[in-house]
Each structure stands twice: as C-alpha cells, then as structure tokens.
Amino acid sequence: MANTSKKKYILVLDAGTTSVRAILYDHSGKVRSMAQKETLQFYPNPGWVEQDPQEMLSALLGVTMEALTRIKAKPGDLAAIGIANQRETTIVWNKETGEPVYNAIVWQCRRTSDMADELVKKGLTEPIRKKTGLRPDAYFSATKIKWILDNVEGAREEAEKGNLLFGTVDTWIVYNLTEGKAHITDYSNASRTMLFNINTLDWDDDIMGELNIPRSMMPEVKPSSEIYGYLEFTQISAGERIPIASVIGDQQASLFGQQCFGEGDAKITYGTGCFILMNTDERIVSSDNGLVTTIAWGLDGKVTYALEGSIFVAGAAIQWLRDSVHLIDDSFDSEYLATKSPDTGGCYVVPAFTGLGAPHWDQYARGTIVGITRGTTKSHIIRATLESIAYQVLDVTRAMKEDSGLDLTHIYVDGGASSNDFLMQFQSDMLRKKVRRPENVEATAMGAAYLAGLATGFWESIDEIKALKEEGGEFAPEMDIEYRDKLYKGWNKAVRYAFFWAKDEDE
C-alpha cells in the first residue's frame, strides 16, 4: 500500500459518453479542482455511434493538466488515480503499435442488432442470461467485438495470431497510462461485456466460441480497488510513482459514491441515459422482468452484485430539445419552460431514439410524440420530455421490486438532470417515495475516488468514508395518487406506439 501521509488529492478520470473530466478530491471528499472537455461522437449510419479513442485519451490528458494547474497542484500531491468510465463501449487495438484498428463503438450503437437477434433465434437467451446476467442485445460489448473482427480488413487474422487486444474504455485508458504494462479491467466492467460469467468470475469460452472471439484478446479481470500499475506519462507524473488504484463502470461507481452499501439501497443516475441500480449484496438476483444482473464492484475479497435497469435516453432527450429541435437554448431552460404549463395537455413524448431498454428491451422501438392537439405548445412538449424520464424510471423500479422481493429502501439521485427540481419532484410523485439528492451530484467520480483511496490508504475504511457524506435536498410525494395513476396509464399507452417502429415487417 502506498504511503499517502503527505499526499493531498485523489485524481479521478471520468470518461463519460459525451465528455471527459479530471477531478481532484481532498481528504474530506470535497472537489478541489475540476476540468472538463466535450468529446466528439460520429454517426456514420442511422443508429451507429462511434468515438475516436485517441481523441478521448488526448482529452483526458488535457483536462488532467488543466485540473492540476488550476490549483497549482504538483504530481507529488497525488495519492492515486481512479477511473470511472462509460461502459460497454468497445475498443480493439494492435498490441504492437497501440493503435486502434477501428473507432470505439459506443454503447448506444445499434449496428449489431441483427447479431443479437441471431443469438436469440438460436435459443441462447437463457444460457447467456444465466451466465452473464445479461440478455442478447446490441447494447453490450460482445457483438461489437465480433462486428470489428468481421468487418475491419485483416482484423480477424490479426486477432487469431494474438496481435489484437480488446478493452472497454477503462482498459484502454489504463493500458495507455501504463504504456502497455497493464491490460486489465475490473469485475464491474467485465460484467457488461456479455462475455463474462458472473458466477465463475471468468471469461466464458462457450459464448466467446459462439461469437468467434479469441480469449487472447481479453483483459485480466481485477477487483475494483487495487493498484494495477503506475502512471508512466512523465509530463504528468514528473517522475513521481503515482498508482492507478481503482477502475469501475460509471453506474456502479455512482452506486458506491452514493454509499449504497446495503441490500435494497438504490440510486438513479440521470446522465445521457438513465441507470437505476439496486444493491443485492452477495446475492445474484435473476430478473424475469427485463432487468439485468450485474456486478456492482469487487472489494476486499468480496464481490457485490446489483440489479440494473438501463434507460437509453434521459439527459440525451434534453440535449435533443436543445440541439435538434431547438425548443430550448440551454439545458437549464427546460425546467423553467416546463413549469409554464400546469401539465402536458395530454401530450406524451417517448424518447426511444436508440430503442427501449429495461424493462421492454425493444431495440427496434423509436421515438414518438403522441396526444398532440392544436393547443399543444412548446412548453407542453418540453414538460412531456422531462416527464418521460420519470416514467421510464418508474417502469424499471416496479420491475426491480418484483424481481428481488425487496422494496427500495433508500433512493438517491445524481447526474446532471438531477439538479432539475421539477423533474425530481415529479419523480418522487411517480415513485411514491422520498428522493434524496446529495450536496454533490457528481457521485460517479466520487465512487472511483473512494475506491482508489481505499486501495492506497488515503482513506482507511468504509466507516471513514461514511463519515464524509453530506446530505442535500429531499423530495417527497405530493401528487394525488389517482391523478398519478392516470398519468402513468397514459404513459403505458404511449409507449406501445413506439414498439417495433424500425422493423420492416408489421408486428
């Protein structure tokens, strides 16, 4: 364990879907400096989403230098580096040159829907679900790897020679920060690939064989809190021995950052998508209602599991209002304009831009706006878009309770859209439960910081971390329950119109 007695900060690299951030935390768990940069996404074909792995890496290095410079921090002040990352996004690179053979295929990308359909037709849904906790879907990494091997010239031949490596974004970052000395991932990220057996805690040869993916490509799987290697970039480290000491998928990082350490504790992260995770402790809970079983984290020789519902479009719907249909100039405007109307006038927006996630899992669903009348205004559509996020969360939490037999004990929220008071109040009304928002809504990076700090002695124990928590706002249900049920009934009706829209044949 590193000597952190004179170290001031944990540096967290948060590699999100639309931006990257570098954040410095002190011993009290407070943010002392942060720098952020948006990253580009590419859409070569309808439903395809890509990123440039090298641009992502360059942006991370840039924001790291910026965050350090802002408070005149020195490399010697860093106790450790933690990494939180967008999950499922797939990168394949040549281990001799370090160059990606193709752009990163982002988790939102739907190009491999047909491959996922083939697995279902072969009757592999249940075998895959029992092993990985996931169901065949283009969302996960497995079919993305296969697509690269099948479609990039020479890729399969190089992979079979052992010359190509696969990684999710965390693996790519660690590999580069250590200059190729560590090809690793953690349990949380491995469990999102659809190639990792969450029962045996190993890559599954049967599934890799079905998809013709060589095991030699796969990273070593590690706990989420451990020293994996040391920063080799001298322009940042300046010769200091700075350990890379945590890796965790962003949604699991948020669960940890919100201190959802007990069974039944749940968090909702409102980011580009919306992700609801509930801690099920050491119990693997299989879902019959469209949720997935995932590994939350590995810590101190123990693996903690979670139930997860993934909503593909949440904050992205607000971005759509701003960037595509220009109904708002800034994301913050959505709250004000939504409250200019007392309701939506019967209008519903179903933001299934890239299909529907849990609990429906319809990769062919597409966005719809229904219930429009001559009296429908801009404010109605904005309000309906915000409400759609809360309805989707309710869909997931109902399924979660049915699967686990657990009522959600504590519900914590974080992420950008959680700062919207209108949305949080509507969410509380829909859930019929109190919703707690921490003082610092950036729980994802906080989780990675906690785990890196635990690995290096920056923080000694979970109990020490619990003492750092600061309570923020709380929202309690106010809406009449009959009116709430009426609104939710309308939502369920609206969702049905989105199903199978991108299918050629009638369903």
Most confident among 40-49, 431-440, 477-486 (mean pLDDT): 477-486
SS3 letters across 84-130: EECCCCEEEEECCCCCECCCEECCCCCCCHHHHHHHHHCCCHHHHHH
Cα separation of the two ends of the chain = 58
pLDDT tens figures, 176-231: 999 999 999 999 999 999 999 999 999 999 999 999 999 999 999 999 999 999 98
Q: Between 355 and 159, name the one with better pLDDT.
A: 159
* Tokens of residue 175, six digits: 């590999």
Confidence of residue 146 (pLDDT cuts 50, 70, 90): very high
Interatomic CA distance for residues 94 and 157, integer angstroms? 12
Q: What is the mean pLDDT of residues 56-61?
A: 93
Is residue 51 a contact partner of residue 89, using CB atoms and an 8 Å limit? yes
pLDDT tens figures, 77-111: 999 999 999 999 999 999 999 999 999 999 989 89
- Percent of the chain at pLDDT > 90 equals 66
Which residues touch 156 (CB under 8 Å, ≥6 apart)?
Answer: 149, 150, 212
Question: Can you give the pLDDT at residue 214?
Answer: 96
SS3 content of the chain, % helix, strand, coil (to 5): 35, 25, 40
Question: Can you give the pLDDT at residue 441?
Answer: 66
Interatomic CA distance for residues 326 and 309, integer angstroms? 30
Interatomic CA distance for residues 504 and 194, integer angstroms? 27
Identify which of 226, 303, 302 has the alpha carbon closest to the alpha carbon of residue 294.
303
Cα dihedral: 497, 499, 501, 503 (round 10):
-150
Q: What's the distance, CA 467 to chain centroid?
A: 26
pLDDT tens figures, 331-356: 888 888 889 989 999 999 999 888 88
Give me the DSSP letters along 60-88: HHHHHHHHHHHTT--GGGEEEEEEEE-SS
Q: What is the mean pLDDT of residues 414-438?
A: 90
**pLDDT over 90 at 34, yes or no:** yes
Which residues touch 295 (CB under 8 Å, ≥6 apart)?
Answer: 133, 187, 188, 190, 191, 198, 252, 303, 304, 305, 306
pLDDT tens figures, 108-134: 898 999 999 999 999 999 999 999 999
* Tokens of residue 123, six digits: 């009757």
Which residues touch 228 (CB under 8 Å, ≥6 apart)?
Answer: 174, 178, 182, 184, 222, 243, 244, 245, 247
Q: What is the mean pLDDT of residues 440-469?
A: 90
- Helix then strand count (H, E) for the chain reads 17, 23
Q: Between 6 and 421, name the one with better pLDDT.
A: 421
Q: What is the mean pLDDT of residues 249-269?
A: 90
Helices marked H in 372-468: 378-404, 421-431, 443-456, 462-466
